[in-house]
Amino acid sequence: MQKISVIGAGTMGNGIAHVFAMKGFTVNLVDVSEEALKKAVATITRNLDRMVTKGTISQDDKVATLNNLSTNTSLHSCKDDDLVIEAATENVDIKLKIFQQLEEICKKETILASNTSSISITKIGAVTKRADKVIGMHFMNPVPVMKLVEVIKGYATSDEVLKTIMDISYKLGKSPVEVNDYPGFVANRILMPMINEAIYTLFEGVAGVEEIDTVMKLGMSHPMGPLQLADFIGLDVCLAILKVLHDGFGNPKYAPCPLLVNMVAAGYMGVKSGEGFYNYALGTKDMVISPRFA
Ligand code: CAA
């Protein structure tokens, strides 16, 4: 297992490419947008520089990591890979189309993994002719920092493929946890209702943004409050995951808060759009409370 491709150069894709390249794998980062690829390499370089400054890695490690990384705009560049990890937009149609194409392009031994945060691995596997080699490999943001990989076994995923992915996750220095394929798996089945409830708490006027986040940070020792975390994950991603939970279980307790629905419709996506529950000076960590909710 040496040649890896990561499909999608967004936040998760560039983080996944970063950790594989840092551990000596040959990584091909694929995106339809040349600009997204350039931005991803710049982000990886910045994060590596931060690690050099902190003394976590050496300058030579940084150079070696970047040398292990290449970029491409065509899925055909994945044809000889041992493992392909899809980290595209959290949209079922987009993901199914990518897996159908990978089925045609990749050699028959290639393991096809998805970094989906909630979409059924069984459903993704069923559009290929190798459902036994389709698996979920769900990393957490920021990928270079967070230890967890949620490894999702679809209905047809083989035990051999599961073991390979658990082993490779350990090689990345991560702590993989095996889970079964039900909506939201474990991480988001628990995290998203908490975030949704925090948004309802704001919507119903129980407390303001800062108060809600402070309660959870100081009272429960969470590194970020749930509203800040929602901005960090992306409000569009939170909404997409809640819809998967709502549709998948048919239980009204997962219904997304109307405030979240409205914010996404208005283009307030959190950090990546510059505004969510907080305002962000894009490209910096500075933030102030959004006047709409202060
Ligand atoms: N690459 C490399 N290192 C990074 C980094 C990155 N992208 N981002 C942060 N770091 C490092 C920093 O260098 C720093 O390292 P040291 O401890 O060695 O100094 C460390 O991480 C902490 O960073 P900061 O000091 O800059 O900031 P912080 O203390 O506020 O921590 C945080 C930032 C790690 C993001 C922290 O706020 C946190 O853990 N937040 C919660 C993150 C979380 O819950 N993630 C899961 C989201 S859910 C998800 O991803 C899945 C899904 O499906 C939705």
pLDDT of 285 reads 56
State the average pLDDT for the chain: 95
pLDDT of 270 reads 92
Does residue 97 have a pLDDT over 80? Answer: yes
Q: Which of 18, 28, 115, 150 is catalytic?
A: 150
CATH number at residue 143: 3.40.50.720
Cα dihedral 275→277→279→284 (10° resolution): -90
pLDDT of 292 reads 62
Does residue 27 have a pLDDT over 60? Answer: yes
Contacts for 99 with CB less than 8 Å, ≥ 6 apart: 86, 112, 114, 124, 127, 128, 134
pLDDT of 284 reads 56
pLDDT of 293 reads 62
Bridge partners of 70, per DSSP, are 28
How many angstroms separate the CA atoms of 257 and 260, rounded?
Answer: 5
Pure H helices in the chain = 11-22, 34-54, 59-67, 92-105, 121-126, 159-171, 187-203, 209-220, 226-233, 235-249, 258-265
More confident residue, 50 or 284: 50
Note if the pTM is more than 0.85. yes
Contacts for 10 with CB less than 8 Å, ≥ 6 apart: 36, 40, 87, 88, 89
Contact 90, 119 (CB under 8 A): yes
Do 269 and 156 have their domain in common?
no
User: Would residue 117 show up in a list of annotated catalytic residues for this protein?
Assistant: yes
Specify the number of domains making up the chain.
2
Does residue 280 have a pLDDT over 90? Answer: no
Does residue 283 have a pLDDT over 60? Answer: no
How many angstroms separate the CA atoms of 130 and 274, rounded?
Answer: 41
CATH number at residue 216: 1.10.1040.10
| Complete DSSP assignment for 246-261 | HHHH--GGGPPPHHHH
Q: Of 122, 146, 180, at which residue does a domain stop? A: 180
pLDDT of 235 reads 96
Does residue 202 have a pLDDT over 60? Answer: yes
Instruction: Please give all residues whose beta carbon lies within 6 A of any atom in ligand 1, as ranges.
Output: 47, 50-51, 54, 117, 140-142, 144-146, 187-188, 223-224, 229, 233
What pLDDT band is residue 185 in, cutting at 50, 70 and 90? very high
| The token pair that represents 256 in the structure block | 């997304």
Do 162 and 260 have their domain in common?
no
Do 161 and 271 have their domain in common?
no
More confident residue, 70 or 1: 70
Does residue 25 have a pLDDT over 90? Answer: yes
Cα dihedral 20→274→50→42 (10° resolution): 60
Do 137 and 258 have their domain in common?
no
Q: Of 122, 147, 180, at which residue does a domain stop? A: 180
How many angstroms separate the CA atoms of 247 and 255, rounded?
Answer: 9
pLDDT of 282 reads 61
Do 193 and 245 have their domain in common?
yes
Which residue range(s) make up the domain with 95? 3-180
pLDDT of 288 reads 61
Q: Of 134, 160, 180, at which residue does a domain stop? A: 180
Do 50 and 143 have their domain in common?
yes
Does residue 197 have a pLDDT over 60? Answer: yes
pLDDT of 7 reads 98
What pLDDT band is residue 254 in, cutting at 50, 70 and 90? very high
Mutate to test the pocket of ligand 1, among 145, 177, 188, 239 (most ligand atoms within 8 A of CB): 145
Do 175 and 193 have their domain in common?
no
Do 75 and 172 have their domain in common?
yes
